[in-house]
Amino acid sequence: MKLSEIIEIVSAIVINEGKGTSIEIVSVCGTDMMSDALRYAIKDAMLITSLNQPQVIRTAEIVDIPAVLVVLGKPIPYDMANLAKEKNIALISTKYSLFTSCGILYQHGIRSCLEHQSNR
C-alpha cells in the first residue's frame, strides 16, 4: 500500500515526506519497544509507535524502515523531525492510538511484519 493511502486512512499529518508519499509500505511493525522493532521489522515496513524521540528514527534507519507513524497526536520534537528529514525517513502523526491505527490498517489489508515474514 502506498504511504499516501496510509496517510489518508489514519487521518495522518505529514511532518516530513522522506522519500515521498508514493513509496510502497509492505507491512507494519507496531511497538514502543525499539528492541522489538530491531528484531521483527523488515525493509520497507512502517513503524507505528507512541514514542516521540530521535531514537525511533535511528531505529528506522538501521532496519531500512522508510516511514514512522507517531500515534496519540503526540507533539513531534524538533530534533526528531530534523533527524527524520536528514535521514530521508517519512514522519507522520495521527490522533489514533497504536492499537486503533494497527487495526484500521489491518482492515485495509496491511499485515504485521511477523505475518509478512511467515508468508515468504
Which of 24, 52, 26, 50 is closest to 114 using CA atoms?
Answer: 26
Is residue 108, in this structure, part of any structural domain at all?
yes
Is residue 52, in this structure, part of any structural domain at all?
yes
Across 92-96, average pLDDT = 99
Q: How many residues does the chain have?
A: 120
Is residue 118, in this structure, part of any structural domain at all?
no
Question: Which pLDDT score is estimated for 119?
Answer: 57
Q: The whole model's pTM is what? A: 0.94
Is residue 117, in this structure, part of any structural domain at all?
no
Q: What does the mean pLDDT of the chain come to?
A: 95
User: What is the number of domains present in the chain?
Assistant: 1
Question: Which pLDDT score is estimated for 117?
Answer: 59
Is residue 16, in this structure, part of any structural domain at all?
yes
Please report, for the domain that includes residue 85, its CATH number. Answer: 3.40.1390.20
Task: Give CA–CA dist 5/1, Å, rounded.
Answer: 7
Question: Helix, strand, or coil here: 47?
Answer: strand
CA distances from residue 11 to 3, 43, 93 in whole angstroms, order as listed: 12, 24, 8
User: Tell me: the pLDDT tens digits for 25-69?
Assistant: 999 999 999 999 999 989 999 999 999 999 999 999 999 999 999
Domain interval for residue 72: 3-112
Higher-confidence residue of 71 and 42: namely 71
Provide the 10 A C-beta neighbour count for residue 52: 18
Which of 72, 79, 75, 35 is closest to 57 using CA atoms?
Answer: 79
Across 59-80, average pLDDT = 98
Is residue 12, in this structure, part of any structural domain at all?
yes
Question: Which pLDDT score is estimated for 115?
Answer: 75
pLDDT above 70: percentage of residues in the chain: 96
pLDDT above 90: percentage of residues in the chain: 90
Question: Which pLDDT score is estimated for 113?
Answer: 85
